[in-house]
Chains A and B, each alone.
Chain A
């Protein structure tokens, strides 16, 4: 593989996997907070 392709692969996978995982983690945290809030209600 050329350096160009390796760098591109790391950037693109980093953006998509990283973005997906970070946003999903945030959503799960939010859901948990909402559950607690609902239980308190």
Chain B
């Protein structure tokens, strides 16, 4: 009998692809800043708890959904909890199209800065002005964005084996580059103050609600829960691979990259800036200000800054681009389920991403708007995953799928409580908290055309929901195959992306 070659080549290949997909900009440019702003070590403890209590359970459940149904998002929701819930998968797919479109632009900025680091292009320049020039109507950025999307679509065209191969190259380079930057950073004179700031622990801070909400936000946006990544990548896992162990390694690997990034950025900021106040000011800027303006300034001033700058932007670029590649898989796989030929599916995905992404390349306000809307819709996606697992039956998921005969790390009943109560309630609170926060950002919070308003979230999120619900039956009927028979994991189906 011919040996099946569908899916990942090894379990390690699966883990590497999962980590590469989930590690992104959030780990490297958001985590150090948010950790430093919210109490350092105390925040890291709260974030680790949220990773284990909320993200890991959702991702274990999503892994089960993908592996049991062997379908992309809409098909996974359909076969798991019924035809009338197909829209839940569709809304996450639309969200992921939107995410790819602006995230590809952010990735493009990073690669632009990688080029500038290599050519010493930002030396002596006014960093704020340089960033404005790059982020606002820059033609070179159009070329970079189109190139990145072209490469990402080409890799997705090669199927899961292509994604696995690229991840196996990207992830070690990312880890090593970031580790070098981190070791260099903590050995700089004065870096101790930064480490102090990053790791100081004050238990009284844990009594506040903000630290927990920020920790949850960081965990959800960075680890990969709720945006279809795990469901999609789990479609290609072999029935005998260890579900709980691979997902736990993914969460630990994602967290580890964030910690290393924190140790790369915060000590360097403290070592190079003249006072603690100045360092704190830098760390309380937004992601773009910290990465593209302050850090480039620091790289210019520090000894060995040339090579550190190159390695930093290389690791940031690889982290971001590997997430873009995985996200393209999230949106093309449902098309395969609906019988759309591979070439056609990739071309459609490519065209949609180019059209949707160009406004973000040209206008930073549009990008900020998409970032806000997509961020909230991803939180909603995590809620939908909890709902699907609850509807299917958490006990059945845990006993049959997670604790299957091939697992070496059985999960206890705590998982069921997390999916039924803890995760959905906390996620709902997070969604409401950010929505309320947005009222304070903008006087015209009701205006659907203001970039960071509650109005725009309601309008765009509502539109995504409406489209998904309208097309529920059409999408559902187009998914002809059903692999899940009610027992165990089916074999990996042979399709355009599995070989």
**Residues on A close to B: CB < 8 A?**
1-2, 4-9, 12-13, 15-17, 19-20, 23-24, 26-28, 30-31, 34, 38
Distance of A27 from chain B, by nearest CB (Å):
6
**Residues on B close to A: CB < 8 A?**
3, 10-12, 15, 40-41, 44-45, 48, 192, 195-196, 198-201, 240, 242, 245-246, 248-249, 252-253, 255-256, 259, 408-409
Contact pick for B249, options A4, A24, A31, CB 8 Å? A24
Point out the residues of chain B lying under 8 angstroms from A30, CB to CB. 11, 242, 245, 408
Contact A8 B12 (CB under 8 A): no
- Interchain residue pairs with CB less than 8 A apart (22): A1-B195, A4-B41, A5-B199, A8-B44, A8-B200, A9-B199, A12-B45, A16-B259, A17-B256, A19-B252, A20-B249, A20-B253, A23-B248, A23-B249, A26-B408, A26-B409, A28-B12, A30-B242, A30-B245, A31-B10, A34-B240, A38-B3
Contact B245 A26 (CB under 8 A): yes
Point out the residues of chain A lying under 8 angstroms from B40, CB to CB. 5
Determine chain B's interface SS by DSSP, over half rule.
Answer: helix
Cα distance, A26 to B244, chains bound together (Å): 12
Closest B residue to A15 by CB, please name it: B48
What 8 additional pairs, Cβ within 8 angstroms, besides A1-B199, A23-B248? A2-B200, A5-B200, A7-B201, A8-B201, A12-B259, A15-B48, A19-B252, A20-B253
Point out the residues of chain A lying under 8 angstroms from B12, CB to CB. 27-28, 31
Q: What total of A-B pairs shows CB separation below 8 Å?
A: 77
Closest A residue to B258 by CB, please name it: A16
Determine chain A's interface SS by DSSP, over half rule.
Answer: helix
With A20-B249, A30-B242 as known contacts, state yes or no: A12 contacts B11, CB within 8 Å: no
Point out the residues of chain B lying under 8 angstroms from A38, CB to CB. 3
Contact pick for A1, options B3, B192, B201, B408, CB 8 Å? B192
Distance of A10 from chain B, by nearest CB (Å):
9
Distance of A26 from chain B, by nearest CB (Å):
6
Distance of A22 from chain B, by nearest CB (Å):
9
Cα distance, A31 to B408, chains bound together (Å): 12
Contact A16 B255 (CB under 8 A): yes
Contact A27 B15 (CB under 8 A): yes
Point out the residues of chain A lying under 8 angstroms from B408, CB to CB. 26, 30
Contact A16 B252 (CB under 8 A): yes
